[in-house]
């Protein structure tokens, strides 16, 4: 038997289905107001701001990104406005301390974007990678063409940097370098071409991700210590120790190594040929460094590849001379860090320890 609904009930059901009934019956919960993530932008200068007739300020750069309000609430500050190679090590310390202070005091910030010139960007970015101790990202952005050039890509790169900084997936990946739609780890990236837009490459490690029209995509992970797992606390560091990089080339003189030591270097990175070769009289310079208690990190000049530490279980040969023992006491393998990155890591390692095994551990963990 078919059961008929009374006409009033049918009317109420029809109203319910058509959406015409009063709010007490049908109102959907009001959609929560979507609060966009807040991204803080710190400008330091570089080609991205280097307009003919006067550099763009942080404010002008912030206003140069059409549609940024779709992705983030942007705040900004001017930290410096110089070429990347003009930033001093004191400014590096100041920049890292500033970002750490921002993160410590402002839980509302989702991420920080830093603009930099591209020439030494990989060094600045790696320094921030090692010293910003918060899960939230630091995204370093630059451009290859200046704002007065046809095809200036700075505003596009900056907007992509903001999108990455606003993305929760960017957390715990250390510092990220965003240019040319690509996301690279500050640990692995190198400027590989003096002029081309696709200059920032991570060589055999590959990109961490890309910034596409619809979304930020990560497809790779960084495995070394970063973010809250980094041990480099700058709170009590007023100055970074001097570390010099010396290149190996055919017939090179050890005098440059001696000069670095005599001028106050606390560490030297030797950019070895292949997996460890020096040339000319450089061994004499390295013996001098060891004699004076200066750590020497070997890093390959090839652009990729790893310098492995000596096996710690092998005893020093009985017939080794005192000079050879001392060389071993002050020699550290640079792992897969390029010479300029090894220099950044050695400066920070020396703020933590003057023990060879400890410094080697640091090179193996970062
Ligand atoms: N190539 C730029 C840099 O790395 C220098 C241009 C400038 O003066 O900003 O900083």
* Segment 151-185, tens digit of pLDDT: 999 999 999 999 999 999 999 999 999 999 999 99
| Ligand 1 lined by 329 (C-beta under 6 Å) | no
| Ligand 1 lined by 147 (C-beta under 6 Å) | no
Dihedral (CA of 190, 195, 196, 197) sign? positive
Does 81 have pLDDT greater than 80?
A: yes
Does 87 have pLDDT greater than 60?
A: yes
* Token pair 């003009």 in the structure block, residue: 86
DSSP assigned state of 154: H
Residue 321 phi, psi (nearest 5): -75, 165
The closest residue, in CA terms, to atom 6 on ligand 1 is: 47
- Average pLDDT on 189-211 reads 97
Kindly indicate the confidence band of residue 341, based on its pLDDT and cuts at 50, 70 and 90: very high
Separation of CA 195 and ligand 1 centre (Å): 12
| Ligand 1 lined by 84 (C-beta under 6 Å) | yes
Does 2 have pLDDT greater than 90?
A: no
Does 330 have pLDDT greater than 60?
A: yes
| Average pLDDT along the chain | 92
- Average pLDDT on 334-354 reads 98
Separation of CA 228 and ligand 1 centre (Å): 31
Separation of CA 295 and ligand 1 centre (Å): 32
- Encoding tokens for residue 90? 């004191």
Probe target for ligand 1 pocket from 44, 48, 61, 84, with the most ligand atoms within 8 Å of CB: 84
Residue 104 · residue 133 · CB < 8 Å? no
- Average pLDDT on 219-240 reads 97
Of the residues 47, 115, 131, 300, which is catalytic? Answer: 47
| Ligand 1 lined by 230 (C-beta under 6 Å) | no
- Average pLDDT on 219-225 reads 97
* Token pair 């010293």 in the structure block, residue: 131
- Average pLDDT on 340-346 reads 98
Say what the pLDDT of residue 23 is: 39
Dihedral (CA of 120, 165, 82, 266) sign? negative
Helices (H) and strands (E) in the chain, counts: 11, 14
Say what the pLDDT of residue 32 is: 63
Say what the pLDDT of residue 29 is: 58
Biggest CA-to-CA distance, the chain: 107
Residue 132: Cβ within 10 Å count: 29
Kindly indicate the confidence band of residue 320, based on its pLDDT and cuts at 50, 70 and 90: confident
Q: Give the whole-angstrom CA distance, residue 234 versus residue 224.
A: 20
Q: Which atom of ligand 1 is nearest to the CA of 116?
A: 10
* Token pair 């505003």 in the structure block, residue: 155
Say what the pLDDT of residue 337 is: 98
Q: Which atom of ligand 1 is nearest to the CA of 83?
A: 10
Q: Which atom of ligand 1 is nearest to the CA of 48?
A: 9
Please tell me which of 45-59, 301-315, 322-336 the model is most confident about, judged by mean pLDDT: 45-59
Say what the pLDDT of residue 364 is: 97
The more confident residue out of 11 and 265 is 265
Residue 222: Cβ within 10 Å count: 19
Separation of CA 196 and ligand 1 centre (Å): 14
Say what the pLDDT of residue 318 is: 72
- Average pLDDT on 346-358 reads 97
Say what the pLDDT of residue 30 is: 58
| 34-45 as b/e: b if 16+ CB within 10 A | eeebbbbbbbbb
DSSP assigned state of 194: S
- Average pLDDT on 336-351 reads 98
Domains of the chain: 38-229 (3.40.50.1170), 243-365 (3.40.50.40)
Does 77 have pLDDT greater than 50?
A: yes
Does 1 have pLDDT greater than 50?
A: no
**Is 300 one of the catalytic residues?**
no
Say what the pLDDT of residue 154 is: 98
Separation of CA 49 and ligand 1 centre (Å): 9
| Ligand 1 lined by 154 (C-beta under 6 Å) | no
| Ligand 1 lined by 300 (C-beta under 6 Å) | no
The more confident residue out of 35 and 12 is 35
Q: Give the whole-angstrom CA distance, residue 49 versus residue 294.
A: 39
Q: pTM of the full predicted structure?
A: 0.90
Q: pLDDT, tens digit, for every residue of 116-141?
A: 999 999 999 999 999 999 999 999 99
Does 188 have pLDDT greater than 60?
A: yes
* Token pair 């390959």 in the structure block, residue: 300
Helix axes 339-350, 356-365, angle to 10 degrees: 130
CA-to-CA dists, residue 203 to 170, 176, 210, angstroms = 21, 15, 15
Q: Above pLDDT 70, what percent of the chain?
A: 90
Nearest to 220 by CA among 187, 165, 173, 164: 173
* Token pair 């310079």 in the structure block, residue: 285
Residue 85 · residue 119 · CB < 8 Å? yes
Say what the pLDDT of residue 10 is: 42
| Ligand 1 lined by 45 (C-beta under 6 Å) | yes
Beta bridge partners of 295: 267
Separation of CA 140 and ligand 1 centre (Å): 14
Length of the chain counted residue by residue:
366
Alpha helix segments (H runs only) across 57-153: 58-63, 89-105, 121-131
The closest residue, in CA terms, to atom 8 on ligand 1 is: 83
Say what the pLDDT of residue 17 is: 40
């Amino acid at each position: 038997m078919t059961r008929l609904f009374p006409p009033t009930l049918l009317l109420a059901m029809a109203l319910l289905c058509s959406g015409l009934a009063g709010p007490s019956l049908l109102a959907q919960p009001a959609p929560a107001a979507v609060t966009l993530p807040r991204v803080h932008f710190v400008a330091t200068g570089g080609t991205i701001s280097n307009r003919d007739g006067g550099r763009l300020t942080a404010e002008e750069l912030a206003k140069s990104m059409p549609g940024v309000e779709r992705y983030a609430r942007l705040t900004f500050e001017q930290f410096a406005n110089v070429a990347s190679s003009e930033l001093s090590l004191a400014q590096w310390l100041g920049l890292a301390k500033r970002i750490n202070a921002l993160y410590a005091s402002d839980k509302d910030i989702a991420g920080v974007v830093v603009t930099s010139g591209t020439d030494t960007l990989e060094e600045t970015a790696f320094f921030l990678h090692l010293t910003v101790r918060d899960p939230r990202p630091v995204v370093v952005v630059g451009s290859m063409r200046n704002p007065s050039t046809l095809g200036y890509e700075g505003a596009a790169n900056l907007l992509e940097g903001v999108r990455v900084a606003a993305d929760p997936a960017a957390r715990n990946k250390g510092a990220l370098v965003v240019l040319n739609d690509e996301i690279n780890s500050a640990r692995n990236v190198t400027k590989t071409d003096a002029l081309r837009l696709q200059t920032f490459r991570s060589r055999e490690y590959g990109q961490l991700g890309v910034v596409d029209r619809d979304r930020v995509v990560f497809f790779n992970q960084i495995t070394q210590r970063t973010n809250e797992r980094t041990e480099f606390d700058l709170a009590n560091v007023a100055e970074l120790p001097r570390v010099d990089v010396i290149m190996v080339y055919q017939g090179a003189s050890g005098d440059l190594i001696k000069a670095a030591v005599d001028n106050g270097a606390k560490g030297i990175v030797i950019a070895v040929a292949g997996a460890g070769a020096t040339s000319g009289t450089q061994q004499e310079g390295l013996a001098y460094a060891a004699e004076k208690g200066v750590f020497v990190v070997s890093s390959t000049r090839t652009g990729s590849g790893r310098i492995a530490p000596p096996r710690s279980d092998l005893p020093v040969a009985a017939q080794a001379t005192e000079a050879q023992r001392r060389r071993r006491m002050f020699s550290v393998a640079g792992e897969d860090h390029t010479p300029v990155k090894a220099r950044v890591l050695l400066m920070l390692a020396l703020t933590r320890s003057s023990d060879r095994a400890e410094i080697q551990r640091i090179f193996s963990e970062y």
